[in-house]
Amino acid sequence: MSIAVLGAGAFGTALALSLAREGHEICIWARDAATVDAINSDRRAPRLPGIPLPEAISASTDIATVARAGTLLLAVPMQSLHAVLTRIESPLAGQRLVACCKGVDLQELTGPTGVIAHAKPQAIPAILTGPSFADDIARNLPTALTLACRDEAAGTALQQQLSTGALRLYRTTDTSGAELGGALKNVIAIACGACIGEGLGDSARAALMTRGFAEMTRLAAKLGARPETLAGLSGLGDLALTCTSELSRNYRFGLSLGKHERFDPSLTVEGVKTAEAVSRLAAKLGIELPICAMVHEVGGGGTSVSEAITYLLNRPLKEE
């Protein structure tokens, strides 16, 4: 079954490279004609400088044609996912739509598979998530990810189709757990970046990661996810990577907040919108997510990093 990628960002292009090395012909859809020309004519990806693209990868601005592939990797920002899907007139019946984005939709308050199910109810939704940087995948470095699909047969087929020599996929049917882990770890990464940027030290970061993981599992359990999913690659694994590396945009954004520096507004920081969406969701469900709430306040400019830290440190003492 053919594979296409919707979105010509770094991660989508890196996945295309990984699959092309295994002999797949991959077409990438991009909005920008200049990006398509760079891929087709110059054999380069604007978002992955210095890495040449093989002839097996092509690009097009015609989303209807690209979307005919049996497997679609949806490598677009979370808050753009619904709009991209609605651009496709076809119901995509029976096609496998694999979200490669992380977050919670601000309008629907659901993760990527929920957005897919709402926009294209006849398609088969799945999500590919876990600890990974686009540059590592593009350079064929060993990476392990979670492939979550409620349809077990489809999930097994996708695992076989998308795994490569360097990209190892672990399968689960727990889409809620997989997508919540990937979404919330971005929020906690912002908090950890702000902590280090403010000069509060590694011990404080370790505390934020641990209590942040508790918030991740609390929300996931409330929504019916399995605890073991959050303890795997899509939760704990991704949290460990994103909260400790400056290659993470969310962590770097947090660093800029802590250092009171300007952050490049052209870069998508999924954790900011996710913090807002998760704060709404927590209020709706009647649960407390104090770290996520403070990231929402700080990211929106309503609270300073020092005020947020003071609030967290002065919460009532409790059992772990």
Query: Known catalytic residue: 185?
Result: yes
Q: Do the strands 26-29 and 57-60 form a parallel or antiparallel pair, or are they unpaired?
A: parallel
156-177 per-position pLDDT tens digit: 999 999 999 999 999 999 999 9
Yes or no: say if 19 and 161 are a contact pair by the CB < 8 Å rule: no
155 is in an annotated binding site: no
Residue 223: how many CA atoms within 13 Å on its side-chain side? 26
Confidence of residue 320 (pLDDT cuts 50, 70, 90): confident
In this prediction, residue 296 carries a pLDDT of: 95
Kindly tell me if the per-residue pLDDT of 304 is higher than 70: yes
In this prediction, residue 10 carries a pLDDT of: 95
Q: Which of 185, 222, 273, 284 is catalytic?
A: 185
- Percentage of residues in the chain having pLDDT higher than 90: 92
Measured in whole angstroms, the distance separating CA 257 from the mean position of its chain's CA atoms is 21
249 is in an annotated binding site: yes
Kindly tell me if the per-residue pLDDT of 1 is higher than 80: no
Fold of 3-173: Rossmann fold (3.40.50)
Yes or no: say if 146 and 97 are a contact pair by the CB < 8 Å rule: no
32 is in an annotated binding site: no
130 is in an annotated binding site: yes
Which residue spans of the chain are classified as CATH 3.40.50.720?
A: 3-173
193 is in an annotated binding site: no
Structure tokens at 78: 């979370």
Rounded mean pLDDT, 100-126: 96
35-65 per-position pLDDT tens digit: 999 999 999 998 899 999 999 999 999 999 9
Cα–Cα distance list, 1 to 14, 157, 161, 195, 242 (Å)? 20, 10, 8, 46, 33
Tell the residue number behind the tokens 């398609």, with chain if given: 123
In this prediction, residue 91 carries a pLDDT of: 98
CA–CA distance, 222 with 27 (Å, rounded to integer)? 39
Rounded mean pLDDT, 8-31: 97
Q: What is the mean pLDDT of the chain?
A: 95
Fold of 176-313: N-(1-d-carboxylethyl)-l-norvaline Dehydrogenase; domain 2 (1.10.1040)
**Which of 291, 49, 315 is CA-nearest to residue 194?**
291
Which residue spans of the chain are classified as CATH 1.10.1040.10?
A: 176-313
Q: Which amino acid is at 80?
A: S
- In the three-class reduction of DSSP (H, G, I as helix; E, B as strand; rest coil), residue 67 is classed as coil
262 is in an annotated binding site: no
- Percentage of residues in the chain having pLDDT higher than 70: 100
Structure tokens at 196: 């280090």
In this prediction, residue 268 carries a pLDDT of: 87
First-to-last alpha carbon distance for the chain, in angstroms, is 48
In this prediction, residue 301 carries a pLDDT of: 83
Yes or no: say if 308 and 297 are a contact pair by the CB < 8 Å rule: yes
Rounded mean pLDDT, 133-143: 96
CA–CA distance, 68 with 139 (Å, rounded to integer)? 28
273 is in an annotated binding site: no
248 is in an annotated binding site: yes
71-86 per-position pLDDT tens digit: 999 999 999 999 999 9
How crowded is residue 40: how many other Cβ atoms within 10 Å of its Cβ?
Answer: 15
In this prediction, residue 302 carries a pLDDT of: 85
CA–CA distance, 232 with 57 (Å, rounded to integer)? 32
In this prediction, residue 82 carries a pLDDT of: 97
Comparing 79-83, 146-150, 305-309, the range with the smallest average pLDDT is: 305-309
What are the φ/ψ torsions at residue 90 (nearest 5 degrees)?
-65, 145
185-236 per-position pLDDT tens digit: 999 999 999 999 999 999 999 999 999 999 999 999 999 999 999 999 999 9
